[in-house]
Amino acid sequence: KAGVTQTPRYLIKTRGQQVTLSCSPISGHRSVSWYQQTPGQGLQFLFEYFSETQRNKGNFPGRFSGRQFSNSRSEMNVSTLELGDSALYLCASSLAGQPDSPLHFGNGTRLTVT
């Protein structure tokens, strides 16, 4: 069974641009959640999608948005990029999005904003 796939692995953008990151969950998983990892703030929860609906959201500005498609694939979008958005963005999927369902993480997308 293929794991969680995130594309691209690396991305370099300029301040003010926007970016879209993609996450393909494990087959059959309906929940996808996103995390931001930075040296200063550590790992922080961005949001979670389940059956195409955002079910939970962390404390990030509205520039961070996401969506989930009918095949459970998810995209995350960051508009008007700032230098502080440079981070590793991790996606995780789970079967049912319940606490009993373990999270499976991808290898992340490393975003650098210059």
Partner 1 sequence: AQTVTQSQPEMSVQEAETVTLSCTYDTSENNYYLFWYKQPPSRQMILVIRQEAYKQQNATENRFSVNFQKAAKSFSLKISDSQLGDTAMYFCAFMSRNTGTASKLTFGTGTRLQVTL
Residue 108 CB, nearest distance to partner 1 (Å)? Answer: 5
25 touching partner 1, by CB under 8 A: no
Which residues on adjacent β-strands are paired with residue 19? 78
* 88 is an interface residue for partner 1 by CB under 8 A: yes
Q: Which of 24, 48, 76, 78 binds partner 1 (CB under 8 A)?
A: 48
Which amino acid type is present at position 111?
A: L
State both tokens at 21: 């990151």
φ/ψ of 83, rounded to 5, equals: -55, -35
CB 54 within 8 A of CB 73: no
Provide the minimum distance between the beta carbon of 14 and partner 1 in the complex, in angstroms, as a whole number: 24
Strand-pair partners of 88: 37, 110
User: Could you count the other beta carbons within 10 Å of the beta carbon of residue 20?
Assistant: 13
11 binds partner 1 (CB under 8 A): no
Q: In the bound complex, what is the minimum distance in angstroms from residue 79's beta carbon to partner 1?
A: 23
For residue 114, the one-letter residue type is T
Interface segment toward partner 1; rule CB under 8 A; list 11-19, 35-43, 60-68, 73-81: 35-43
Sites of contact with partner 1 (CB under 8 A): 31, 33, 35, 42-45, 48, 50, 55-56, 58, 88, 90, 92, 94, 97-99, 102-108, 110
